[in-house]
Amino acid sequence: MIEDDLRLGLDDDIPGLLEYRNLPRMIGAVISASKATLHECETVYSVEDIYLMIEVISIDVHNRRMAEAYATRNRDK
């Protein structure tokens, strides 16, 4: 689910992690990933654009995790 992917690799077991309180999670993820500024999210991009950027972010995070897991498995051989 896309909401789970927005965790961007953060572990719920890590104490002290914060979530954005005054910003929707999706907007925060787009800004945090440097895909857009808050001003651009408010003035330039549509809701559909934000969803497309979230897809890019989610796929990039997934692929990075898969590459790291692959490298870890092959390092031990």
Can you give the pLDDT at residue 1?
A: 43
Contact criterion met (CB below 8 Å) for 3 and 51: no
pLDDT value, residue 12: 63
Mean pLDDT of 19-41: 94
Q: How far is residue 19's CA from residue 24's CA, in Å, rounded to a whole number?
A: 10
Residue pair 25/17 in contact by the 8 Å Cβ criterion: no
pLDDT at 37: 97
Mean of pLDDT values over 4-24: 74
Residue 46 confidence (pLDDT): 96
Q: Is 42 left (phi over 0), alpha (psi -120 to 50) or beta?
A: alpha
Find the mean pLDDT for residues 27-35.
Answer: 95
